[in-house]
Chains A and B, each alone.
Chain A
């Protein structure tokens, strides 16, 4: 069979969602940000809520997310996205509001906003991209940097004595009564991408039913910051990030479904 006979509109299986704009993504080759952008927009398209969705772009690599997602978006000061989302959601309780934040934004500068928005049980969705590093500013150490992991500000590896322990903020917020759905996923392989899409869909459904905060952590790579090729960084991520940040649901329908203390220590 000739290729030209296969490439016909009626045989289409998968293509870029129309809710992504034509702008070329500003991310490095192989960066997980692009995959997550597409997934969020695919879910919004499937639920037909383009007119009702408001996203909050963070400070970090994804600061330009409003150029790429064809929905209403706002920009918050560094770390303050959950506070801005709280305000928007309280003004428009029937809109779908999500924040899109990196680990430096959410787990360092915005720790207070994150913890308190989760504790208040705001009906918003937080999408948290964890790559263990401050990617945009040049690969500095973040709270989520692993023990012994090299970064531009910890060139000999993170030393727990002087630099503290990696912060597992997802395990923390799962224990707060305001959160309804808390999960940790990845997007480096097709299976993980499918699971992450389901999780994003579930998070928006939780928001529709006004059951509380939905929080999705996505363990991602930063091949530029880690000084690796995209595929090397994905392998490194599986070997080093996943033991510290194990994938899976932590809280479903307001009930903790995982032994969090085991993962915290």
Chain B
């Protein structure tokens, strides 16, 4: 079975920077941006995109539903 590669797309303006996705990411992919969005929150982004497996854990725990997850077999 090939390795899975994934990617997330974060709706930056809706993200509230609660960091719940970051803590629940098993691959340590997500970090909080040093920039802030319009509301002043440090939004989530893929710090290490190559580690993402597209497991969708971040997306299902996100209280605001701002993360969309994609996955392919590499």
Contacts and interface: CB of A to CB of B under 8 A. Distances in A.
Interface of A: 1, 3, 5-8, 11-17, 20, 24-25, 27-35, 38, 187-190, 193-194, 229-231, 234
Given A6-B6, A13-B54, A190 B24 contact: yes
Q: Which residue, B24, B69, B70, has most C-beta atoms of chain A within 10 A?
A: B70
Contacts of B6: 6, 13
B61 interface: yes
B10 to A, nearest CB: 11
B56 A13 contact: yes
Among A3, A28, A193, the one with the most B-chain Cβ atoms within 10 Å of its Cβ is A3
B70 A187 contact: no
A193 to B, nearest CB: 5
B27 interface: no
Nearest to B49: A3
Nearest to A189: B24
A29 B41 contact: yes
A252 B64 CA distance: 31
Closest 6 CB pairs of A and B: A34-B63, A30-B18, A29-B16, A16-B65, A29-B18, A190-B57
B65 A13 contact: no
A6 B65 contact: no
B64 A13 contact: no
B18 A14 contact: no
B74 interface: yes
A38 B66 CA distance: 11
Interface in B27-52: 41, 46, 49
